[in-house]
Amino acid sequence: MRKLFQEDLQNLGEQLIEISSLVSTAMDRAYVSFESADVQLAEEVIAADTQIDRLQVELDEKAIDLLALQGPVASDLRMIVGALRMSTSLERMGDLARHIAQLVRLRYPDQVAPAQLRPTYEKMAEHSFAVADRVTKLLKTRGMDLVQEIAALNEQINELHAGIFTVIATEGWDASAATTADCVLTSRFFERFGDHGVAVAKKVEYLVTGEWDSRYSE
């Protein structure tokens, strides 16, 4: 019985890795569609999000069954509860990639953002890709050095996010209200993507060390 329980715990970890990999792909493809106004690719990103949602539901149902049937304690309990909370963050990351694709679909055939902001979004996307990649690696390896790398990348996204608002607030900004809203939303989606990556990283750190850093919250 104990062996089966440990196999179930391992399966939870493998499911988290699978979801994280799909999230990474979703953000990568969402940005490509954003950059090129590729509405077909955007539609594919939107449709693919249902797989992430389905996997999250399956993981959560399995985790709840383990809580109810096995009565885990100590590290096993942390693992199951942590998996539930991480799956929520990962699912939300997938949603944020989908939101970017939805903006592409909404504004097609036009670009979502004006040319002057696209270099900033490119940098935000690069950092978001790196966050997603490191989250997947962290779930696989439990390498604690990755936690700080993810946090540092998120700080860079936050700085770029603030820069978007600086540009929009200048007197020279003459874009329409709709474009301004799209620009703010796009930046916010990247910013929240990074935040959720940090949330996952801190939960993995907690699973490994048993210590929670109160500076980080979802």
In a domain, 160, yes or no: yes
Percent of the chain with pLDDT over 70: 96
In a domain, 174, yes or no: yes
In a domain, 71, yes or no: yes
pTM for the model stands at: 0.94
Nearest to 183 by CA among 135, 116, 138: 116
In a domain, 217, yes or no: no
| Total number of domains in the chain | 1
- pLDDT level of residue 214 (50, 70, 90 thresholds): low
In a domain, 39, yes or no: yes
> Is the pLDDT assigned to residue 162 strictly greater than 60?
yes
CA dist., res. 68 & res. 64, Å (int) = 6
In a domain, 216, yes or no: no
In a domain, 13, yes or no: yes
pLDDT digits (tens, 9 = 90+) for 75-99: 888 899 999 999 999 999 999 999 9
In a domain, 85, yes or no: yes
Tell me, what amino acid is at 171?
A: E
Residue 145 sits in a domain whose CATH number is 1.20.58.220
Integer CA distances (angstroms), 105 to 46, 116, 125, 130, in order:
10, 21, 18, 25
Q: For CA atoms 19, 24, 25, 27, give the dihedral sign.
A: positive
Domain holding 154, by residue range, is: 2-209
pLDDT digits (tens, 9 = 90+) for 103-116: 999 999 999 999 99
Q: What are the start-end ranges of the H helices in 37-144?
A: 39-70, 74-107, 118-141
